[in-house]
Amino acid sequence: MNSDSSDLLLDVNNLRVEIAQRQGTLTPVDDVSFKINAGEIVGVVGESGAGKSITGAAIIGLLERPAGIAGGTVSLLGQRIDNLPLKELRKIRGSQIGTIFQDPLTSLNPLQRIGDQLAETALAHLPVSRSEARDLALAALEDVGIPGAAQRLNAYPHEFSGGMRQRVVIALALIAEPSLVIADEPTTALDVSVQAQILTLLKDLCLKRGMGVMLITHDMGVIAETTDRVVVLYAGRVAEVGPTASVMRAPLHPYTAGLMGATPSATRRQGERLQQIPGSMPSLRNATVGCAFAARCQHVMPQCIDVRPPLIEHESHEVACYLHDPTVAPDGARHQLISSHGNSDGVGQ
Amino acid sequence: MVQNMSRALVEVQGLGKRFDVSSPWLNRVLAREPKRYLSAVESVDFVIEKGTTFALVGESGSGKSTIAKMLVGLMPPSTGRVVIDGVDLMQADALEQNQLRRRIQMIFQDPYASLNPRWRIDEIIGEPVLAFEPEISRRDRSRRVAELLEQVGLSATDAHRYPHEFSGGQRQRIGIARALASKPELIVCDEPTSALDVSVQAQVLNLMRDLQTELGLTYLFITHDLSVVRYMADAIGVLYLGSLVESAPASSLFDTPQHPYTRMLLEAAPRLDGFGRQHQPPAGEIPDPINRPSGCFYHPRCPFVTPKCAQEQPLQRSMGQAQVACHEVERLPVYHPGQVIEPSVSN
């Protein structure tokens, strides 16, 4: 196997999720494509309703009727996983894809001791005996930095603090050594000091084991500090994909630029006015024909309203915006975007 | 904010709140347990100048919201005083209290829970107008509601709609319009944008600043998010387990944080320009507020801890423009953003 194909871990191609409703079909994820390589942390960022979590749920096959994958493919290590029967899918969940959700209390069984939950997961996915599973559980708790791990194996979830509980969830997700971890807002419910601990832990463990991580969050600061590449979602579509530092310093899509300008930051000058994006994200019921951001965009052109912009490669990014399509936009407009957002957002200057 | 122009609107002195968290009487007697108390807030002092924004920052369990409730009179303090424009909120008689109440309003965190879903917007905003001006005619009232809606960037025709027809950001605007209805001087904002998306948060924060300039409002701004504080506040108080560890003007707090906890908070917050930043995450977690550590509450997590810290609770002392509660503050190293603090203790 050559190195190019072995590096590619997850390949999401033109993924489309539909929810059938009496009033018509909603499309919360519409033609989303991105890749995750082994050992890479990819951030998926967007505001509420952007389709971040549904994309994650679709990848691990957690969508339930009336929602379902209506198009596109999801491949893990070259194997398609979007059309697998439930039995096959259950083998992949946990063993090849680990998941970490926002609220650690609802991801753990409140009636089962932590050690039993960990050992059960190891037994389900690995060819180990009961006592070996127990040893693995202890090692997993030690790896995530839980003090006194041997005694804590017999504790119930409610006996842990929020941060410690999220560590247990991480141990649970990683015990079968999956190649991909999907972390959906793993630190949103935690305080900043604990958030820093959990993110550092996640980063260290993934690097050590060469896992790929899909980190879903709405927090641009978390994206900046944790991820290698970022996928910016807007209204169920990909707005921009690229290396994190480059996307955040010199955003190409007007939505990414607006998001950066609107984010308050401790490094910004005091009293500096925040840029605001007028309006709010369109409702799923009013699906747009053209660019979903057109109604809020200050660079809107006639094409934006009529025809949906395709994802085009520009510099090191992929961006769905006509401003960067030389056949549509004059050079002047592109220049204007960079000068109105890129230099005034106080980032990376 | 010229020094001789400034006048204190709010003075909080030795404010404290203790909750009884004992088990029920019979269980306690059978198990021979003593009564147990939780000190949510303990001897907090601060002053808010008229027309400025004072921010209270802290992690969960630091007593932020309890202070907000005591300030607006939703909860009586166990100790200490809240003096608003020279009038003690607890000593005042019913008439004085009623007059004070119209001058203090509150904006809540969750715009989905803080608006009655069965009321139309004109009823929601019109109620405080009617409460403080019972004589007002129906026509004047709806004119006032229309004015308020336009002031917060909504349209007068929205008055006949119900809360569910609005997005989160628009609902928070309605919450602000309702707070403005009684023409208040002080608005207590408890995490007003935590439930909102960033692009909408920017709209609401900008609106709040514009209203402050326009109407000369004074804000007590409560949040866990330091970056929002930087944008909004003139002065900041940092809370840890119910006590103020540091209070300082905003610029001085961000440039030269004094207390080790403030330094930790600034270090731990993710940065927009922190690409691939490697830093030592802070040690430990917030202790149980029922069994708080002895001495300085922060000493089990503090990298600069000394034996004295475990024994004696530090008093507030002046350090430059800041008031800091730390025994070691004079001997701490100069703060450099991004410095790696090696913890000397581990838990």
Mark out chain B residues that contact chain A at CB-CB < 8 A. Answer: 59-60, 167, 169-170, 197-203, 205-206, 209, 224-228, 230-231, 250-251, 254, 264-277, 279, 281-282, 285-286, 347
CB contact under 8 A, A193 and B268: yes
Closest chain B residue to the Cα of A201, Cα to Cα: B281
- B127 and B78, same domain (yes or no): yes
Mean pLDDT calculated for residue range B247-270: 90
CA angle at B225 for the pair B221 and B231, rounded to the nearest 5°: 65
**Radius of gyration in angstroms for the set of CA atoms belonging to chain B, rounded to a whole number:** 22
Mutate to test the interface with A, among B199, B226, B263, B346 (most CBs of A within 10 A): B199
- B251 and B327, same domain (yes or no): no
B48 and B233 in contact (C-beta within 8 Å)? no
pLDDT number for residue B338: 59
In a domain, residue B71? The reply is yes
Q: Could you read off the pLDDT of B197-225 as tens digits, one per residue?
A: 888 899 999 999 999 999 999 999 999 88
Query: For residue B180, what pLDDT band results from cuts at 50, 70 and 90?
Result: very high
B107 and B176 in contact (C-beta within 8 Å)? yes
In a domain, residue B326? The reply is yes
First CA to last CA distance, chain A: 43
Mean pLDDT calculated for residue range B14-32: 89
Angstrom distances, CA of residue B299 to CA of B47, B309, B316, B343: 27, 6, 16, 11
Closest chain B residue to the Cα of A345, Cα to Cα: B272
- B262 and B211, same domain (yes or no): no
Q: How many CA atoms lie within 13 A of A123 on its CB side?
A: 11
What CATH number corresponds to the domain at position B21? 3.40.50.300
- B293 and B241, same domain (yes or no): no
Residues of B in contact with A191 (CB under 8 A): 59-60, 224, 286
Range of the domain at B120: 8-255
CB contact under 8 A, A280 and B200: yes
- B124 and B223, same domain (yes or no): yes
In a domain, residue B276? The reply is no
Burial class (CB in 10 A: 0-12, 13-18, 19+), B59: buried
pLDDT number for residue B132: 84
Residues of A in contact with B201 (CB under 8 A): 262, 264
Q: How many CA atoms lie within 13 A of B126 on its CB side?
A: 19
Residues of A in contact with B277 (CB under 8 A): 225
CB contact under 8 A, A280 and B169: yes
Query: How many domains does chain B fold into?
Result: 2
Fold of A3-233: Rossmann fold (3.40.50)
Given a cut of 70, whether residue B178 has pLDDT beyond it is yes
- B130 and B28, same domain (yes or no): yes
CB contact under 8 A, A273 and B276: no
pLDDT number for residue A269: 66
Mean pLDDT calculated for residue range B16-20: 91
**Nearest beta carbon to residue A47 from set B199, B254, B347:** B199
First CA to last CA distance, chain B: 44
pLDDT number for residue B343: 37
Given a cut of 90, whether residue B33 has pLDDT beyond it is no
Indicate the range of B28-32, B111-115, B328-332, B342-346 predicted with least confidence: B342-346
**In sequence order, what are the residues at sequence separation of 6 or more whose Cβ sits closer than 8 angstroms to the Cβ of residue B239?**
B44, B56, B57, B58, B62, B63, B64, B67, B245
User: Cα–Cα distance between B188 and A105 in angstroms, integer?
Assistant: 32
- B316 and B220, same domain (yes or no): no
Give the CA dihedral B206, B210, B215, B216, nearest 10 degrees. Answer: 80
pLDDT number for residue B346: 35
CB contact under 8 A, A224 and B285: no
Please report, for chain A, the start and end positions of each structural domain, with discontinuous segments joined by +.
3-233, 243-265+274-342
Which residues does chain A have with pLDDT short of 70? Answer: 1-6, 266-271, 329-349
pLDDT number for residue A333: 54
Task: Kindly report the nearest CA distance between residue A259 and chain B, in angstroms.
Answer: 6
CB contact under 8 A, B272 and A221: yes
Closest chain B residue to the Cα of A189, Cα to Cα: B60
CB contact under 8 A, A225 and B230: no
CB contact under 8 A, B273 and A277: no
- B249 and B145, same domain (yes or no): yes
Interface size A-B, in CB pairs within 8 Å, comes to 143
pLDDT number for residue B94: 84
Closest chain A residue to the Cα of B154, Cα to Cα: A279
CB contact under 8 A, B275 and A47: no
- B172 and B50, same domain (yes or no): yes
ipTM over 0.85: no
In a domain, residue B18? The reply is yes
* Closest by CA position to A149, among listed A139, A158, A160, A157: A139
Mutate to test the interface with A, among B59, B166, B272 (most CBs of A within 10 A): B272
**Radius of gyration in angstroms for the set of CA atoms belonging to chain A, rounded to a whole number:** 21
pLDDT number for residue A3: 41
CB contact under 8 A, B199 and A276: yes
Q: Where are the alpha helices (DSSP H) in chain A?
A: 3-7, 52-59, 86-95, 104-107, 114-125, 130-143, 149-152, 162-174, 192-209, 220-226, 244-249, 254-262, 302-306, 331-337
- B76 and B142, same domain (yes or no): yes
- B289 and B334, same domain (yes or no): yes
Closest chain B residue to the Cα of A282, Cα to Cα: B167
CB contact under 8 A, A263 and B198: yes
* Closest by CA position to A280, among listed A270, A302, A295, A267: A295
Q: Could you read off the pLDDT of B282-337 as tens digits, one per residue?
A: 888 888 888 889 999 999 999 999 999 999 999 999 988 899 999 998 888 888 77
User: Cα–Cα distance between B205 and B228 in angstroms, integer?
Assistant: 8
- B149 and B187, same domain (yes or no): yes
Residue type, A80: R
Mean pLDDT calculated for residue range B55-76: 90
User: Cα–Cα distance between A329 and A81 in angstroms, integer?
Assistant: 39
